[in-house]
């Protein structure tokens, strides 16, 4: 432990939980301030409206989770999660073609987001130097001479509003973060934002898994530009439940009534529709539309206050179909921990250095999500050269996947953030991808 003082984390969702776990190794006390009440069992919360939708934890996220919380995958499996090999146990259709199934040992622990968060929260709450404070709405920052020293808190239990002081403060309050408004109040600029919005909408519904169950644990049908803007996922969760998600791009939002939902699913794919027709629904149909890629460029601000950092969706949110947000926030929390270790307890300049590093942390996920989305929007919306090139090359990679196992496996590794996107530019892969493209022309 390098610092004998307290740290505060704003927001007790996934990014806040990873961060609290990491900060517990560096500060005497960690206080998580969360505006919602925090249920002890898996249950939805208003502050996380996406928590009733399907959430896939990428392999990189699962690896970090196991390092931060030893034994947690066994705990998830004991609670009913399913260990799913993403190429063997998953029937997947990409660009109109079903993919061959083979064992890759690239896995996810399929369960509801509600259960994942509840188990992580229990683990964090059990840490002796972490306090999870529910009903604490943070309303602003308290700063002195360029150093953030605390936060203003409105307590929902009727306690008088007050200031909570700390030596280090992390904003993990998600897409709705008020940091862009709080910064000018203490004399700093509002950041620029990069937004790539493919206007994707989700609709999700839970079903009992039919008896006998199919031979797969997961069915994924990707959108097929420019022919089909509809996609779907069937994902097995705990308690013998399927989470069924359908999504539409460019404003083709899926309906949330029974008839419309099923008609939309039929347009996703005939096998997909047939699978859910055999299953019994056990929930309402829930829609969701706030899905744009949004990167708040705190890294570009020339002035940044000491002892304040932001991470997770508060900085960079992704189109959720690529399943990246939980993993990328874990990667950011780990990087923060590494920087705190390297600092030896000297926090001067650390916060600004962390924000400047943020683009490196998110780059692989950002390139993947935005290059796929730019295929729908047209490459003209790409804001950087790597984005433009990725926007040209990635569709060719996707076209090659059904025909080439090496390209397929490498893509899954990259998608799971196990290898960097540059792996797809190795000569062996480029030759196969371009060879397939040229043959197609
Ligand atoms: C439909 C959908 C599906 C998704 N699917 C996946 C997926 O498959 N895989 C994946 O990895 N990611 C997925 N994501 C992304 C994932 O939900 C987030 O990346 C992840 O939850 C981490 O976000 P976060 O903790 O930064 O923010 P959030 O989860 O949004 O949490 C923010 C927290 O801060 C609290 N808060 C906000 N303001 C304040 C305040 N002023 N004071 C105190 N507390 C505050 C909120 O109540 C909330 O608890 C999906 C997102 C959506 C929208």
Q: Please, where are the H alpha helices in 246-310?
A: 258-268, 270-277
- Do 355 and 296 share a structural domain? yes
Query: How far does the centroid of ligand 1 lie from the alpha carbon of residue 326, in Å?
Result: 8
Residue 230, domain extent: 72-111+199-288
At 241, list the tokens.
């439940």
Residue 379's pLDDT band (cuts 50, 70, 90): low
From the CA of 327, give the closest atom in ligand 1.
11
Question: Pick the residue with more confidence: 394 or 42?
Answer: 42
- Residue 189 in any domain: the answer is yes
Query: In angstroms, what is the span from residue 48 Cα to ligand 1's centroid?
Result: 6
| The pLDDT value given to residue 4 | 66
Residue 216 domain-assigned?
yes
Distance 172 CA to ligand 1 centre (A): 9
The whole-number pLDDT of residue 377 equals 85
316: domain CATH number is: 3.50.50.60
Give me the pLDDT at residue 381, please.
63
Give yes or no for residue 13 CB within 6 A of ligand 1: yes
**Same domain (yes/no): 185, 310:** yes
pLDDT recorded at residue 395: 86
**Is 297 inside any structural domain?**
yes
Characterize 394-403 residue by residue with b for buried, 16 or more Cβ atoms within 10 angstroms of its Cβ, and e for exposed: bbbbbbbbbb
Sorting pLDDT into bands at 50, 70 and 90, what band is 375?
confident
Of 305, 330, 362, the domain-final residue: 362
Residue 2 has pLDDT above 80, yes or no: no
Q: How many Å apart are CA 20 and CA 131, to the nearest integer? A: 9
CB atoms within 10 A of CB 109: 23
Cβ atoms 423, 429 nearer than 8 A: yes
Number of CB atoms found within 10 A of residue 18's CB:
31
User: In this structure, are 81 and 230 located in the same domain?
Assistant: yes
244 contact partners, CB below 8 Å, separation of at least 6: 204, 205, 206, 207, 232, 233, 234, 235, 265, 276, 279
Residue 209 and residue 236 in contact, taking contact as beta carbons nearer than 8 Å: yes
DSSP, residue by residue, 146-193: TEEEEEEEEETTSPPPEEEE-SEEEE---TT--HHHHHHHTT-PPPPE
Residue 236 lies in a domain: yes
pLDDT in tens, 273-284: 999 998 999 999
* 47 pocket-lining for ligand 1 (C-beta < 6 Å): yes
Domain assignment present for residue 369? The answer is no
Does ligand 1 lie within 6 Å of residue 138's CB atom?
yes
- Residue 380 or 391, more confident: 391
Which ranges in 24-71 belong to alpha helices (H)? 59-68
pLDDT at 276: 96
Do 272 and 305 have their domain in common? no
Residue 262 sits in a domain of what CATH number? 3.30.9.10
Whether 3 has a pLDDT exceeding 90, the answer reads no
400 with 420, same domain: the answer is: yes
- Quick one: 122 and 234 in the same domain? no
Q: Ligand 1 centre and the CA of 13: distance in Å? A: 6
The total number of structural domains in the chain stands at 3
Q: Are residues 186 and 231 in the same domain?
A: no
- Domain membership of residue 303 (yes or no) is yes
Q: Is 33 a pocket residue for ligand 1 (Cβ < 6 Å)? A: yes
209 and 264 inside one domain = yes
Q: Are 141 and 126 in contact (CB under 8 A)?
A: no
């Amino acid at each position: 432990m390098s610092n004998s003082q307290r740290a505060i984390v704003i927001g007790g969702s996934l990014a806040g939980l990873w961060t609290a776990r990491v900060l517990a190794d560096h500060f005497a006390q960690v206080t998580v301030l969360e505006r919602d009440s925090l249920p002890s069992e898996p249950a939805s919360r208003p502050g996380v409206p996406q928590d009733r939708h399907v959430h896939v934890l990428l392999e990189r996220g699962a690896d970090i989770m196991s390092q931060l919380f030893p034994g947690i995958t066994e705990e998830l499996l004991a609670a009913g999660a399913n260990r799913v090999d993403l190429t063997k146990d998953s029937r997947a259709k990409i660009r109109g073609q079903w993919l061959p199934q083979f064992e890759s040992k690239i896995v996810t622990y399929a369960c509801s987001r509600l259960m994942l968060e509840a188990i992580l929260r229990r683990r964090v709450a059990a840490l002796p130097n972490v306090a999870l404070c529910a009903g604490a709405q943070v309303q602003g920052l308290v700063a002195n001479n360029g150093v953030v020293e605390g936060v203003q808190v409105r307590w929902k239990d009727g306690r008088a509003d007050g200031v909570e002081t700390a030596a280090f403060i992390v904003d993990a309050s998600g897409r709705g973060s008020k940091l862009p408004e709080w910064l000018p109040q203490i004399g700093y600029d509002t950041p620029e934002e990069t937004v790539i919005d493919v206007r994707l909408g989700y609709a999700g519904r839970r079903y009992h898994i039919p008896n006998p169950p199919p031979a797969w644990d997961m069915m994924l049908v990707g959108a097929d530009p420019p022919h089909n803007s509809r996609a779907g996922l069937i994902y097995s969760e705990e308690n013998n439940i399927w989470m069924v998600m359908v999504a539409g791009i460019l404003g083709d939002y899926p309906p949330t009534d029974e008839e419309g939902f099923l008609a939309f699913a039929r347009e996703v794919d005939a096998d997909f529709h047939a699978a859910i027709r055999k299953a019994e629904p056990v929930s309402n149909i829930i829609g969701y539309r706030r899905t744009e890629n949004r990167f708040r460029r705190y890294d570009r601000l020339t002035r940044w206050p000491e002892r304040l950092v932001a991470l997770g969706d508060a900085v960079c949110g992704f189109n959720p179909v690529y399943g990246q947000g939980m993993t990328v926030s874990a990667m950011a929390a780990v990087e923060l921990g590494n920087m705190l270790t390297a600092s030896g307890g000297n926090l001067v300049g650390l916060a600004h250095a962390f924000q400047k590093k943020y683009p490196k942390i998110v780059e692989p996920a950002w390139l993947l999500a935005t290059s796929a989305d730019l295929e729908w929007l047209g490459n003209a919306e790409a804001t950087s050269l790597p984005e433009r090139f990725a926007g040209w090359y990635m569709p060719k990679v996707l076209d090659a996947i059904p025909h080439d196992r090496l390209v397929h496996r490498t893509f899954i590794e990259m998608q799971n953030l196990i290898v960097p996107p540059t792996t797809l530019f190795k000569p062996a892969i480029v030759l196969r991808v371009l060879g397939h493209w040229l043959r197609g022309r």
